[in-house]
Every structure is written in C-alpha cells, then in structure tokens.
Amino acid sequence: MRILLTGATGYIGQHLLKKLLVQGHELICCVRSPDRFHIPEKYKGQLKVLKVDFVEMEKGFELPVKIDVAYYLIHSMSASMQNFDNLELKAAGNFRSLLDSTECQQIIYLSGISNEKTLSKHLNSRFQVEEELRKGTVPVTVLRAGIIVGAGSASFELIRDLVEKLPIMITPKWVHTRCQPIAIENVLDFLLLIALRPEYYHQSFDIGQEGIFTYKEMLQVYAKVRNLPRRIIVLPLMTPRLSSYWLYFVTSVSYPLAVNLVDSMKIEVVCRPNNLADELGIQLISYVDAVRSAIDNYQQRRVFASWKDALSSSYTGKGLGQYYDVPKYGVLSDKKEMEVTESPEEVLNNIWSIGGKRGWYYADWLWRIRGIIDKFVGGVGLRRGRTNEETIQAGDSLDFWRVLSADRIIDPKDGKITARLLLFAEMKLPGEAWLEFKLVPKDSGHHIYQTATFRPKGLWGRIYWYVVSPLHALIFKGMLRRLVSFRSKADQGSKTDKDSKADQATV
C-alpha cells in the first residue's frame, strides 16, 4: 500500500511508522520539521518526507495523487490551554481539503472515547475533528481510545510518576472516574488491520481492553505490579486548578497538558460494545499485562518513543528549523575549548549520554535548582529526562532542552571523530538559548568545543545573562573538564582522586 502518515513524530505515529516500514509499505510522512525526523538508512528508499504544517498551510501545497490510505494522528492538546481545539479543527479542515484531490480510499483517525452527554474540551475537540474529516469525499474510519498503556505514553507516564514518587497520594475526586484503557500494542493492531476494509468505511469504533477501572484502581494495579505500598487519600474539595498544579509539579507533564488531562479525567471513557476485535482477530491485552510490559520496557531501556519528544509549546508552532543555525549577531556567549587527552570515543560517549540519569557532569544540584525554578514559573523543569539513555537524535527532549542536531562521523581509515550535539533551551527565559558541543580532530588528536549562546529579549534578557554569568563560568568550566575526564561505572574502580567520588555521585 501507499500510505500517507501524519503525526509521524508523535508517540503513536512513531510506533505505527516502524510497523508500516517493517511490513514493506511505501510511506509519505507529513511533518512540520523534517530536520528532526530520523529515517533509518535501510528504509530511505521506502519513505518520502513532506514538510507541511496543516494549521498554517503554504499556498499552492498539494499532496501526491496516488495514496491508498491516510492516517490522521495530529493532536494539539499539550501545546495550549485555550485554543488547541481551534488549531485541531483548522488542521483537520486543511487536511481534508487536500486529500479530496487525491485517490485516497480511506482516512483512519485515532480519536478519543466520547459517549457522555457532556464532554471535556479535549474530547469535544476530537469529536469535532471527526465531523470535519467526514465532510470530505474520502471515507473515514474512526477508532476511539481512552488511556493508552505503554512505555512513553503521556497517560501511562502520569500514572507511573505518581506511583513511583508518592508513597501517600492526596488525590482529587476524579480518581473515582471510570475508564477503559488499552495497550499500545492493541492500538497498533487496530490501526493496521482496519486499513482498506470497505466494510468499516464511514464507521466509528471504541477500542479498549475488556476490564473497566477507576483511575484509583489503575494506580493501585501499577503499585501492586511494582510491589510498592501506596496509600491513596481522596480530597473531594480539590479544585480543577489545584488538581492541575498537583499533576504539573509531581509529574513530568506540562501545565497546559495537566489542565487538559484534569478536564478530561472528570468524564467517563467507557467503550460502546462492538465485535471489532473478534472480527479482526485481535487478542486484547489485559491492563495488568500491559502495565507489566511497559514496566519491563522501562527497566530494559526499550522506550522506543515518548510523548515528551513532541514539540513543546515554546516553539509557538514555528518548528525547529528556525533555531538550527545558532545566531552570531546580537547574542551573548560563553565559549570554551579543551584538548582531549583521553580516549575520544569515551568523550563522544559522554557527550551523547548527557542529561537524564547521567546528569550534567558538574554541579548537578545547581541544575536541579534551576529545574525547580523553571517548574515554578511554568516551564518544563528537569523531569522529562531523556527517552533513551544510550541513543540520542534530533527532536528528542533532554531535560529542559530540545535536541536540534546529533551528528557524528567516525572516519574508517584513521578512526578520527567529528561530532556535534546542538541543544535548544525550552526552559522559561527572557530570551533564547543554545548549548553546543563539538568534538573535532585537531593536530594529532582531538579537541572539544563547548559554546553556550544566549539571544536576549530586551533589557531584562541582558540583565539575566550578566546576573547568572558567574554561575555559568563555574558550571560550564567544570562540565567541560568532566566531559573529558568522566569514566563510566565500569572504570571508576581504578580512580582514586577526588574526581572519582564526584563521578560516582553524579551517576
């Protein structure tokens, strides 16, 4: 099949993309920022990438005519508290209009369960998108899901954060709301098996596993699987605003996402009965087994995709491309260079492992304080960590940074390494900030270059930079030194100086 895939950089989109490529389909992926879209070398001939923003369409843009199936997986809930529904409706309308000019036979849309008379803004937005897509000439099949259980999904990471961090939870009354979760594996099964099945055109189906749980029960099941004693106390008087702040400060979700999640958690999301799973031959995974599978993936570091790697609202819809070239004029910077006297391969590994559990190599307590301050002023803080502790690529979230570039080349002839890691700040700042690491051959060895660049916004931006400059001088100097000298746990036993103890504390 020739398949059009939107939302390819999102959580569901990344999983579905991998499945479709393995099955041998020809894919056309529509993305806002091709620079953050990683294509495995062996699939490059099988996949075409189109740069398109369905909200702000370029005049004259057209989709390829020959398309069999189109997956619509665009959602904007985490980007805004106020206007995400208008953005979603506008994007759906533009998508529908473009698709009407193609030979597409089916649109498949992943929506939310919306069977209650009163819907949250989020669920109502999904329903309105369904209606907008149906206005076109292409038949639409809608799959409606509640909480998706899988390593990296926003809803499941919220459950995971709460149970892992809080022995005693004082929760709002929405923990008594019922919902019907579904495993990420089953969501993919439905999305794949329903394609080009005419009997399912112009229809919608609720998808979920067989059991119905309250949010409190889902938290308790996770705690039981992890063997963690947890006590949940329900406080009926907790307002939606307090609930949103509670989720925002305790978990890694952004405040706009917390607001929209709380709004939706007051609404029951229980499936209307249907026989779709049986007709497609899908074996539904129980919630307990889905939790076990997700936990195992976390423990084995097999988190393939995460909701956190979707673009933050700090980009205001403009995409990453505008930040890729670090500005040279009107900026303030801190530049440092050091000769690599140790193994350049080890230094490259240190650069590629920065952030997350590894930390920032020097004065991690100051980084944590900065993360706490960022949370209190409405930023993302440090709790996002990194999706994968061993690999990194453009588009990944990295604590309160976003990866713009992660390029490295090892010359097969002489083993010389050329590498560049470029990060863009998503913390709250009176300006824009970049942090760049370069490892390059020089003379007979290698040198590492570390550059922090800040483009201030007005007078307050410049005041901010000069106030924190003494801390920058301390942190950036120490970080560069440790990037060169740091050794993993396997090598720490041989170290006897003070830096060895510091390394262990950092890890």
**Could you read off the pLDDT of 36-84 as tens digits, one per residue?**
677 777 888 889 989 888 888 888 788 999 999 999 998 765 545 557 7
Take residue 165 and report the two structure tokens written for it.
């961090």
**φ/ψ of residue 285, rounded to 5:** -90, 135
Rounded CA separation 26/46 (Å): 5
> Which has more confidence, 243 or 474?
474
Q: C-alpha angle with apex 184: 180 to 189, nearest 5 degrees? A: 100
Supply the pLDDT for residue 43. 82
Tokens 């038949």 sit on residue:
139
Query: What is the distance between the alpha carbons of residues 55 and 457, in angstroms, rounded to a whole number?
Result: 27
Which residues lie below 8 Å from residue 383, measured CB to CB, with a gap of 6+?
161, 251, 252, 371, 375
Q: Where do runs of H (alpha helix) occur along 100-183?
A: 121-134, 154-165
Assess whether pLDDT exceeds 90 at residue 454: yes
- What is the per-residue pLDDT across 83-131, written as a single tens digit (0 to 9) for each? 777 888 888 999 999 999 999 999 999 999 988 888 777 788 888 999 9
Kindly state the average pLDDT of the residues 467-494: 79
pLDDT at residue 314 in the model: 37
* pLDDT band (50, 70, 90) for residue 443: confident
Question: Rounded CA gap, 445 and 458, in Å?
Answer: 42
Least confident span in 7-16, 176-185, 198-207, 237-246? 237-246
Q: Say which residue, 499 or 116, is predicted with more confidence.
A: 116
Average pLDDT over every residue of 12-35:
89
pLDDT at 182: 96
- With contact defined as beta carbons under 8 Å apart, do 425 and 434 qualify? yes
* DSSP states of 333-397: EEEEEEEE-S-HHHHHHHHHT-BTTTB-SS-HHHHHHHHHHHHHTTS--STT-BS-SS---TT-E
**pLDDT for the residue numbered 310:** 58
Core vs surface per residue 260-299: b (16+ CB within 10 A) or e: bbbbbbebebebeeeebbeeeebebbebeebbbbbbebee
With H, G, I as helix, E, B as strand and everything else as coil, classify residue 112: strand
Q: What is the pLDDT of residue 495?
A: 40
* Token pair in block for residue 475: 């942190």
Q: What is the mean pLDDT of the chain?
A: 84
pLDDT of residue 489: 53
Determine the pLDDT at residue 507: 29
Res. 496 pLDDT band, cuts 50 70 90: very low
pLDDT of residue 160 exceeding 50, the answer is yes
3-state secondary structure of 178: strand
User: Would you give the DSSP letter of residue 456?
Assistant: E
Lowest mean pLDDT among 126-140, 152-166, 181-195: 152-166
What pLDDT is attached to residue 490?
45
pTM of the model: 0.74
Beta strands 26-31; 47-51: pairing state: parallel
> What are 275-325's pLDDT values in tens digits?
999 999 999 999 999 999 999 887 776 666 665 555 443 344 445 556 667
pLDDT at 31 over 50: yes
Burial 414-427 (b: 16+ CB within 10 A, else e): eebbebbbbbbbbb
3-class secondary structure, 127 = helix
CA angle, residues 36, 41, 45, in degrees to nearest 5: 100
Q: What does the alpha-carbon distance between residue 358 and residue 374 come to, in Å, rounded to a whole number?
A: 20
Q: What is the pLDDT of residues 326-344, one digit of tens each?
A: 888 889 999 999 999 878 9
